[in-house]
Amino acid sequence: MYTGIGASAGIGIGSAVIVKEPSLAYDNKAVSDVDAEKKRLAEALDKCIAKTQAMADDMKERVGEKEAEILEGHVLLLMDPEMTGQMETSIADDKMCAEAAVEKICDYYMQMFSSIDDEMFQQRATDVCDIKTRLLKILLDVEDVDLANVPEGTVLVAEDLTPSMTAGINPKNVTGILTEVGGKTSHSAILARALEIPAIPGITEKISNGDKVVLDGSEGQTYINPDEKLQAEYEQKRVAYLEEKAALAQFVGKETKTADGVKVELCANIGKPEDALKVVECDGEGIGLFRTEFLFMDRPQIPTEEEQFAAYKKVAETLEGKPVIIRTLDVGGDKEIPYLALEKEENPFLGFRAIRLCLKREDLYRPQLKALLRASAYGDIRIMVPMVTCLDELRAVKNMIAELKEELKAEGVAYDENIKVGIMIETPAASLMADVFAKEADFFSIGTNDLTGYTMAVDRGNAEVAYLYSAYNPAVLRSIERVIKAGRAEGIMVGMCGEAAADPLLAPLLISFGMNEFSVSATSILATRKGISLWTKEEADAVAAKAM
């Protein structure tokens, strides 16, 4: 048995088909005819846009609009005048061939996005890598790998499956996917889940073409050439998994509550306005975290107030009056945006980032807050401040909001006079001061990813200390309990938008502590609703007492 990370749940049983990408080597020599080379690039871009849009249309037809947006995002990148303009400049000024220009500029954007310790931007780097590969194939006249016509009962094995490759898969023929790289939140993993194909990254070395493979995408386990007994066992598991999945349908349209009727709110996390539609489709009761960094990335300048207003308004209208918690800009330090010209820091995680940056850069922050206030006239928008460590930061934000309200009033622009302003609890300082913050914040949302890292003094990307990075650690659990009880004592909503909110093992503790809002990925909503429904408050209290 080989263990990896379950990127897409389910049981896959079939024969291995190893996918190998062709060589994309080219002769990197200076060009003499710049105009001809620019024309080659333009034709390749047009062809790539057409092919990608066709894939997106096909994905929309077969799977859904939300999944098609990943490929439509590729189209927008291919049409981005900033990125394509830099390619043209490389040809004109450096006499690069089109292939070298594509590689140079795509590598620049990949490095920029990869340097940011945020899952959404890591995905963006993968998207650019996919675009680079497809453009090089067109320029070199290399055929795409055809995954639509593999034999029935195939387990695909590859170094990596890009979003465009995954989109071409016929789920009737493919029972599983094994890759060397990738992760649970990669766009290829998202598409695999949409196609309902189990997938596990990190396991390919030991597999040969034709090997019998059994993979459990829920547990991250792979068996190569298993005996008949084990295969039969997993055939039964597969049937049970499909039956359980079908059973989740009964939770559509139901309230989220415990077995004895304690109601909680079940919301979803999103990264861009288009994601709001998926929340509605998956029966979410609101948005517990809208990360606004995406609006500031992949562009040459700060988004205008109008651009931001349109994005926030779209989300509010999509949710039709359900709560929408929007986190203000959380960049700086490790999240590099070139046009902000931020200085490099020795320890960016403890540096000039999030609210610390925003309060110093009012040219960034005031337009965002004003756009949020204007959008609040169209729905239940709530403002969340990230990376708070002291009360002065929250007060400064509230004072700025009060000033902007007066501006809007003078301009005759509508806004929600009683808009709620809360904080993200993700630092030990905020946790220790939660009782004080609860008197001035309108709500709390616990960000368990950073709270765990800061509490345990652990870099979650360091394999040597990964064993310490766990929300189950007593120090983290005590911190979560303290925050929830402090918030409830003052009568404010306390939610959680970190990964732990969807963990069924933590559900009884969170119920017992009194947490009243869970925010998870849209695709985890029904499973989380079911998990909460299995516990009574009394049972949850007994588990929490023992655990604590």
Is 497 catalytic? The answer is: yes
Q: Tell me how far CA of residue 92 lies from CA of 34, 87, 159, in angstroms.
A: 6, 9, 35
| H/E element, 399 | helix 391-411
Question: What SS3 class is residue 120?
Answer: helix
Dihedral angle at the C-alpha atoms of 265, 506, 383, 454, nearest 10 degrees?
180
Catalytic residue among 48, 129, 282, 497: 497
> Distance (Å, rounded) from C-alpha 389 to C-alpha 369?
20
> Distance (Å, rounded) from C-alpha 127 to C-alpha 106?
10
> Distance (Å, rounded) from C-alpha 471 to C-alpha 498?
10
> Distance (Å, rounded) from C-alpha 536 to C-alpha 548?
18
What token pair was written down for 533?
């429904």
Give the number of other CB atoms < 10 A from CB of residue 449: 18
Catalytic residue among 48, 129, 187, 282: 187
Strands of the 221-224 sheet, one edge to the other: 2-3, 221-224, 212-216, 11-19, 154-158, 174-179, 199-201
Question: What SS3 class is residue 320?
Answer: coil
> Distance (Å, rounded) from C-alpha 166 to C-alpha 160?
10
Q: Beta 199-201 vs 174-179: how paired, if at all? A: parallel
> Distance (Å, rounded) from C-alpha 221 to C-alpha 56?
31
The DSSP 8-state label assigned to residue 222 in this structure reads: E
Is 74 catalytic? The answer is: no
**Distance from the first to the final alpha carbon of the chain:** 34
Q: What phi-psi label fits residue 333: left (phi over 0), alpha (psi between -120 and 50 degrees) or beta? A: left
Cβ contact 100:9 at 8 Å: no
- Integer-rounded Cα Rg, in Å, for the chain is 24
Residues 6+ apart with CB under 8 A from 355: 328, 385, 386, 387, 388, 393, 397
For residue 479, which of 424, 432, 444 has the smallest C-alpha distance? 432
Question: What SS3 class is residue 441?
Answer: coil
Residues acting as catalytic residues: 187, 497
